[in-house]
């Protein structure tokens, strides 16, 4: 008799929303319990601690981003197409899944050791592999020769406004958003103006 969403999943989702809206530290277990229809103490039949929720959200998403990066690395195509694919990935995850944002943005800071160091390592791996794609593109003359770090962090953070601005069903269509945003970023990166379609 499986339910569509387990209570555990409901707790993770409510937590992710609250972490995004108020931050990890300002989210109390009592508020969280109320949102899923339990008392605070009953939460602990589903999860071990407040931080375990954060750990699960952070590492689940880290794995997800790394898997998608695997796929992009194996893609046939030049660096421009690979960078474009990664931008689409980030935009899609940011608009579709609140948990990804919590992991990628600020809340991972509240992990305790050794999880904090582990997460930072995964993040560094991701960044280095993304930078490699940028570097190869610059070497091949496909991308403008910029400082790799500046280019990478600017791309990644330029998408961050989506998480507190974009809400599904609002005025803007996701396809328009994705096209304009990727187009704008790719133009800043490529040697000659290139449309993304």
Q: Which residues lie near DNA (CB under 7 A)?
A: 7, 27-31, 38-42, 44-46, 49-51
Q: Would you say 7 or 129 has its CB closer to a copy of itself?
A: 129
Options 5, 34, 109, 167; binder of a copy of itself; rule CB under 8 A: 109
The listed partner (a copy of itself, DNA, none) that binds 6, CB under 5 to 8 Å by sort, is none
Options 5, 26, 37, 71; binder of a copy of itself; rule CB under 8 A: 26
Give the closest residue to 190 by CA, choosing from 72, 38, 65, 81: 81
What is the tally of helices (H) and strands (E) in the chain?
Answer: 10, 0
The listed partner (DNA, a copy of itself, none) that binds 51, CB under 5 to 8 Å by sort, is DNA
How far apart are alpha carbons 65 and 85 in whole angstroms?
12
Residue 60: how many CA atoms within 13 Å on its side-chain side?
Answer: 17
Quick one: angle between helices 79-96 and 148-158, nearest 10? 30
In angstroms, give the least distance from the CB of 81 to a copy of itself: 18
**Does residue 34 belong to the site contacting a copy of itself (CB under 8 A)?**
no
How far apart are alpha carbons 23 and 21 in whole angstroms?
6
Buried b or exposed e, range 12-24, using 16+ CB within 10 angstroms: bbbbbbbbbeeeb
Map residue 111 onto helix, strand or coil: coil
Number of CB atoms found within 10 A of residue 168's CB: 7
Q: Would you say 59 or 166 has its CB closer to DNA?
A: 59
Options 6, 25, 42, 48; binder of a copy of itself; rule CB under 8 A: 25
Footprint of a copy of itself on 114-153 (CB under 8 A) = 144, 146-147, 149-151, 153
Footprint of a copy of itself on 177-196 (CB under 8 A) = 177, 180-181, 183-189, 192-193
Q: Would you say 110 or 129 has its CB closer to a copy of itself?
A: 110
Q: In this structure, are residues 115 and 187 in contact, taking their beta carbons and an 8 Å threshold?
A: no
Both tokens of 173, joined, read 């269509």
Residues in touch with a copy of itself (CB under 8 A): 21-26, 106, 109-110, 144, 146-147, 149-151, 153-161, 165, 172, 176-177, 180-181, 183-189, 192-193
């Amino acid at each position: 008799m499986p339910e569509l969403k387990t209570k555990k999943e409901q707790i993770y989702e409510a937590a992710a929303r609250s972490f995004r809206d108020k931050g990890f530290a300002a989210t109390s277990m009592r508020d969280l319990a109320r949102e899923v229809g339990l008392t605070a103490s009953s939460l602990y039949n589903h999860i071990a601690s407040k931080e375990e929720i954060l750990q699960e959200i952070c590492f689940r998403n880290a794995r997800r981003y790394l898997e998608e990066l695997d796929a992009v690395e194996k893609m046939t195509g030049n660096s421009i197409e690979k960078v474009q694919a990664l931008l689409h990935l980030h935009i899609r995850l940011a608009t579709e899944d609140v948990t990804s944002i919590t992991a990628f943005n600020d809340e991972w800071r509240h992990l305790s050791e050794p999880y904090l160091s582990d997460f930072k390592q995964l993040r560094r791996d991701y960044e280095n592999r993304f930078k490699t794609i940028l570097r190869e593109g610059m070497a091949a003359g496909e991308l403008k020769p910029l400082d790799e770090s500046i280019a990478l962090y600017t791309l990644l953070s330029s998408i961050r406004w989506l998480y507190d601005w974009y809400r599904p069903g609002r005025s803007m269509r996701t396809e328009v958003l994705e096209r304009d945003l990727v187009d704008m970023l790719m133009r800043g990166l490529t040697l000659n103006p290139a449309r993304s379609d």
